[in-house]
Chain A
Amino acid sequence: MSAPPESPAPKGEEGEWKPKILGVLCNWCSYAGADLAGGGRIQYPPDVRVVRVMCTGRIDALFVLKAFADGADGVLVSGCHFGDCHYLEGNYKGAKRMFMVKRLMKSIGLDDRRFRMTFVSASEGAKWGAVITDVVKTIKELGPSPIKEFSK
């Protein structure tokens, strides 16, 4: 939260700036919830690209950091609710790592709001729509990732 203010979204030559947001979803809860949102035709912004893993426990902290190093404007990790993990406790272990990533982001001056972990179950299609809408809104407010500027 204490990160320095970043450059606002540039009003590009080709119209509105589109953020690049990576979503890493667990197969059993959040991916199924996202599918349910589709079945329910719940409309949300198209800015998140999804990579599916079996469990949020699979997600290495380095995956998230790699995404930021590659220039992602935001990363969303989404899994089962606590106590609801298909693999009993993978989401606890994943969440622990993700907290670490957040702390690390703060300490290197990258706004930690660019990274979010959410818990969306297989029956929460509407919630999925709300989560994506909010993530995209947050990232749009924060503007492009400063890492892109560095690597230029």
Chain B
Amino acid sequence: MAEKKKSTTKKTESKKETKHEAPAKQEAAQKAAPSGVSTTKTQEKARIGVFICHCGTNIAGSMDINAVQDYAKTIPNVAYVDNYKYMCSMPGQAVINKAIKDNKLTGVVVAACSPRLHEPTFRTATKEGGLNQFRFEMANIREQNSWVHMHDQEGSTEKAKDAIRIAVAKAGLLQDLFPKAVPVEHAAMVVGAGVAGMQAALDLANAGIKTYLIESQPTIGGRMSQLDKTFPTLDCSQCILTPKMVDVGRAANIELMTYSEVDAVEGYIGNFDVTVRKKARGVLTPAEAEARGIVGGGCNGCGDCEPVCPVVKPNEFEVGMKPRKAIYISHPQVVPLIYTIDWNSCIKCGLCVTACGPEKKAIDLEAKDELVKVKVGTAILATGYDMFPVEKKTEWGYKKYENVISSLEFERLICASGPTSGHLVRPSDGETPKRVAFVLCAGSRDNTGNGKPYCSRFCCMYSLKHAHQIYEKIPGVQAYLFYMDIRSFGKMYEEFYYRIQDEGAKFIRGRVANILEDPVTKNLHVHTDDTLLNRPVDMEVDLVVLAAAVQPKEDTNRTRKLFGVSCSMDGWLLEAHPKLNPCGTTTAGVFLAGVCQGPKDIPDTVASAEGAASAASIPIHKGEVELEPYFATCIEERCAGCGMCINLCPYSALALVEKDGRQVMQVTEAKCKGCGTCGGFCPGGAIWMNHFATPQIVAQIDAFLLGGEQ
């Protein structure tokens, strides 16, 4: 170990030399620092304060705080030990402040909860006490101790002692570090233009921020534009959504990129370089046409091309219940009103080109994907959801029996602009159904392994709405709702539930066991157990609507890898903290809005979008962000210039440069994210990772295993 300590002294000296960008004030501090930092001296001079938190009884209830405190006093370099009921409270922080000043501490250890929770709090307290905020180390004795060893007081106490000893060992070797401030690009990106993405983009644009709105489909609007009415107010979905779509299309600050996908993301908060793939639409917008010198040309949405197209395909927007052509718009209210060619079905006959005419020249059958690079400060993911493929639940016969339909098909059938102009009909014979069964939790709350374990949160409410809609449209109809529990938790939702009960809908509590078809009449028999009356049910109905679960988008994995976002066990994108940071992610500058994070109804989706927009605008309005200074640094006298580290770096932050006639590695700090992959490999030990330096980690290992005495 002695050898290691010596080398550390060298490292700090070399650090002093390699510092170049720090502002004058910081540089002065930096130069002053090494004398107190260099390891050998620190070992003699380090004066560490240890502060033990009871966290009420959260910690104190599981371990012997007095024993831990008595032990902490015996650890080498510990100059002061104290405990307090709530270390994070104002008086608790004052204890730290005062102790730093009174005892001339050089480092602070707080034994409390997880550093992922309160590290910022105590760093601030350390700074207020007059120390550099990075001379702080946390010992986690709650999440990873008292809460997980609740009935093992002895084991818990011993573990806390070790944790404090390990933290003190590191605290003795910590250095002054200074966060690096970087400017933030005055632009944002929103991925996905459903109601969440549109709301977020509008908010950002209204706040004066240039916003790139990326949508993979040819039109914005998302799932909400497919719905007929919204619960519980019964607003027409299109009527409240289309004004927003038009606003998005018009907003000067929004650059709308439909039929586009994110191809690559580089950089970090404040400076993301995003490559967007504009998929070949085959139809030019007026702006694109003008760029090609066709003045007054481009698609004006006249639709002359559509009737002449000989290819007929099912329209995905209408869940396949209405035809479209190979050149199409999915519905009349699309934004932007530009036709799109479906290359998978286009036969390139050229009839549409002729129909479009020589003035507009809007159609280009040879169009190619285009890559566009944009620079943004922050990004919001609002990628939405997919419907659960409810045919997986074979017992309900979806896609086997014609008269079993999904809730989304119901929405289109009951919608005035849908394939039947709003007439609900049985797919088998076109007759109006008189008895309709709604099967709730179709794939949700399902632990069989075939469905989804979570509650999809809005199926109860839309099924109530569906029941209302058939009562409104079909005289003499009877609705049956087969449910497990009715979850009507929102504002005015419970009242809506009572209203549907009053309208005559019958509620049968029981999970549907199976559905069988009468082969002659094509009527359906719904079998379940009525768990309230405790008797089996065999209900004959004309139509069954399955309230299908929702699931994460198919390409969620691709999206999250692009932006470095995790996902939870059920596949939805993971927020930074489920309660206190529901819009943020673990990647600084990337935020979540809407259902991509987990099932939400429209009010919650819009609220989360506004939250994400607000969060994403903060760094942009602030103008700069501070990056944690966990950069790699090269200790040049040890660097052999082998270049092994350069290929290891995932961010291309390292390069070999010529210095004093030999090759040494150099770090571009703005690119370095501090993972330490280079430092974990360097065969010469020539890479110093700020705050996670080799001597610091080795000291922790030694402190644990050799009891602090070396």
Contacts and interface: CB of A to CB of B under 8 A. Distances in A.
- Are A and B physically bound partners? yes
A14 to B, nearest CB: 11
Contact of B680 (A37, A41, A58): A58
Interface string A91-116: 00110010000000000000000000
B586 A63 contact: no
A104 B142 CA distance: 36
Interface residues of A, number: 53
B302 interface: no
A84 B151 contact: no
A18 to B, nearest CB: 8
Nearest to A89: B650
Contacts of B115: 52
A93 B702 CA distance: 25
Contacts, number: 158
Nearest to B154: A46
B156 interface: yes
Given A57-B675, A60-B694, A42 B163 contact: no
A28 B567 CA distance: 12
A70 interface: yes
Interface in A52-71: 52-55, 57-60, 63, 66-67, 70-71
Contacts of B151: 43
A70 B701 contact: yes
Contact of B148 (A22, A44, A89): A44
A37 B116 CA distance: 14
Given A57-B676, A60-B680, A49 B697 contact: no
A90 B163 CA distance: 26
Contacts of A72: 705
B564 A57 contact: no
Given A51-B700, A58-B680, A38 B143 contact: yes
Given A46-B156, A93-B648, A123-B574, A57 B698 contact: no
B704 A20 contact: yes
A121 B569 CA distance: 9
A53 B698 CA distance: 12
Interface string A20-40: 101000011101101101110
A87 B650 contact: yes
A54 B674 contact: yes
Contact of A53 (B166, B567, B676): B676
B677 A20 contact: no
B700 A29 contact: no
Interface of A: 18, 20, 22, 27-29, 31-32, 34-35, 37-39, 41-47, 49-55, 57-60, 63, 66-67, 70-72, 80, 83-84, 86-90, 93-94, 97, 121-124, 129
Given A22-B704, A45-B152, 14 more contacts: A43-B151, A44-B149, A49-B166, A49-B704, A51-B704, A57-B675, A58-B677, A60-B694, A63-B701, A86-B586, A88-B650, A97-B681, A123-B567, A123-B574
27 contacts: A18-B158, A28-B566, A28-B586, A29-B566, A31-B116, A34-B143, A35-B117, A37-B148, A38-B144, A38-B145, A42-B148, A44-B149, A45-B149, A46-B145, A46-B149, A50-B163, A57-B677, A58-B675, A66-B701, A66-B702, A70-B705, A70-B706, A86-B587, A87-B650, A93-B680, A97-B681, A122-B586
Q: What are the nearest 3 A-B pairs in CB distance?
A: A38-B143, A58-B676, A57-B677
